[in-house]
């Protein structure tokens, strides 16, 4: 039986009615915010947040977009927002306009501010001095080799951080286990806790404590505790850099070697960058301890790599780990090099 000749028109008409009903079903009172970029592109959506040089907008065509503030030429927001100014004042407004580095609130009252007076939009409670922002990641790397040599290796790491307006807590636990041809060849772990107290400007002071065991390096337990002074040289995206230096009291208990206690000079460097994109992460973490009693006793730990998103909060990372100990037990290498691919979850 032949199709009716007007089938195409019926189909198009039904499709048009579908779009019309979808349009009519939208909440007429829903806010529509508009952002114009320096290249002339226009983004329509619902404004969510602005902080650390990024503007977050929820769109129907691409979900949530993160836009670099330096790329925005003008912005019109009808969504009710709360503004936190540099002097700490909070302003609630039903909308705002941004153009020519000027921020205009409540057009009827014609309240205007210089854009550089704005610290953030829709601040979270911790940014106002209430509570902490909890972030962290847990990851693992596993390798299995079969053939001339049977090799199984498991590496794990959990790091979590609570950041407040005045202080910060950090905890990290990591370890490694390796077995070759049915014989265990590596077993080590390390746990670290830190407390930072922010001061005026970029400086902060803190206290760190750690415990470490490496059975195949004859290290039953090494503990490290002491104060330090730190400075945030860069705080905003796309580059973060923190450096710390202090003193610590170190105790080392060995299985065969003579135990020792000493005061050490400590330092650390933490650096991150999202240069390759908002979801990527170039990172470098380095710590060092110098024995002030023995000039040839030096411990260095360095981890550097690139993390990238996989699905949702799942992330992958390739990294290089370098561990150096000038006082290594005879028969073991001073420098231990490890190359890994990690799979983890962030929050």
* pLDDT tens-place string over residues 261-317: 999 999 999 999 887 776 788 999 999 999 998 878 899 999 999 999 888 889 999
Please indicate, yes or no, whether residues 98 and 57 belong to a single structural domain of this protein. Answer: yes
How distant, in Å, are the alpha carbons of 53, 76, 120, 153, 259 from that of 188?
40, 55, 43, 12, 18
pLDDT number for residue 84: 85
The pLDDT of residue 23 is above 50: no
Check pLDDT > 70 for residue 30.
no
Both 197 and 219 in one domain: the answer is yes
| Residues 138 and 268 reside in one and the same domain | yes
Identify whether residues 204 and 311 lie together within a single domain. yes
CA atoms within 13 A on the CB side of 95: 16
Cβ burial 91-108 (10 Å sphere, 16+ → b, else e)? bebebbbbeeeebbbeee
Among 123, 142, 175, the domain boundary falls at 123
pLDDT reported for residue 330: 67
Could you give phi then psi for residue 308, rounded to 5 degrees?
A: -150, 150
- Each residue's pLDDT tens digit, 188-239: 999 999 999 999 889 999 999 999 999 888 899 999 999 999 999 887 657 8
Single out the residue in 67, 96, 123 at which a domain terminates: 123
Q: How many domains does the chain have?
A: 2
Q: Which domain holds residue 109?
A: 30-123
pTM for this structure?
0.73
Residues 306 and 175 in one domain: yes
**How open is the CA angle 198-49-345, to the nearest 5 degrees?**
70
What does the mean pLDDT of the chain come to? Answer: 82
In this prediction, residue 7 carries a pLDDT of: 39
| pLDDT digits 0-9 by tens, 134-180 | 999 999 988 777 766 677 889 999 999 999 989 999 999 999 998 88
| CATH assignment at residue 239 | 2.40.160.40
Domain endpoint, select from 123, 141, 165: 123
Q: Does the structure show a pLDDT above 50 at 17?
A: no
Tell me, yes or no, whether 107 and 40 share the same domain: yes
Q: pLDDT at position 168, please? A: 96
Residue 89: inside a domain: yes
pLDDT of residue 20: 34
Q: 108 with 149, same domain?
A: no
């Amino acid at each position: 039986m032949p199709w009716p000749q007007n089938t195409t028109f019926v189909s198009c008409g039904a499709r048009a009615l579908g779009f019309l009903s979808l349009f009519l079903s939208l909440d007429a009172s829903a806010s529509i915010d508009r952002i114009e970029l320096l290249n002339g592109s226009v983004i329509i959506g619902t404004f969510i947040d602005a902080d650390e040089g990024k503007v977050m907008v929820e769109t129907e065509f691409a979900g949530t977009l993160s836009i670099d503030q330096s790329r925005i030429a003008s912005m019109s927001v009808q969504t009710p927002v709360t503004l936190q100014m540099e002097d700490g004042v909070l302003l609630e407004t039903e909308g705002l306009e941004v153009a020519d580095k000027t921020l205009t609130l409540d057009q009827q009252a014609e309240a205007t501010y210089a854009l550089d007076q704005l610290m953030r939009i829709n601040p979270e409670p911790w940014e106002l001095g209430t509570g902490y922002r909890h972030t962290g990641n847990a990851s693992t790397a596993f390798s299995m080799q079969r053939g001339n040599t049977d090799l199984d290796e498991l590496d794990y790491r959990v790091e979590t951080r609570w950041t407040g307006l005045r202080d910060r807590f950090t905890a990290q636990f990591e370890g490694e286990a390796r077995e070759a041809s049915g014989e265990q060849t590596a077993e080590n772990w390390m746990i670290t806790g830190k407390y930072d107290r922010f001061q005026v400007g970029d400086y902060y002071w803190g206290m760190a404590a750690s415990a470490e065991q490496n059975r195949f390096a004859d290290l039953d337990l090494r503990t490290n505790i002491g104060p330090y002074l730190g400075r945030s040289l860069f705080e905003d995206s796309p580059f973060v850099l923190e450096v710390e230096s202090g003193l610590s009291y170190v105790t080392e208990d060995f299985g065969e070697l003579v135990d020792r206690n000493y005061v050490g000079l400590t330092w650390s460097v933490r650096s991150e960058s999202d240069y390759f994109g908002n979801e990527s992460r170039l990172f470098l973490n380095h710590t060092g301890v110098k024995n002030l009693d023995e000039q040839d006793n030096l411990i260095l730990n360095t981890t550097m790599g690139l993390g990238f998103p996989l699905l949702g909060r799942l992330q992958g990372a390739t990294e290089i780990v370098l561990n150096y100990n000038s006082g290594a037990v005879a028969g073991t290498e001073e420098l231990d090099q490890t190359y890994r691919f990690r799979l983890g979850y962030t929050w």
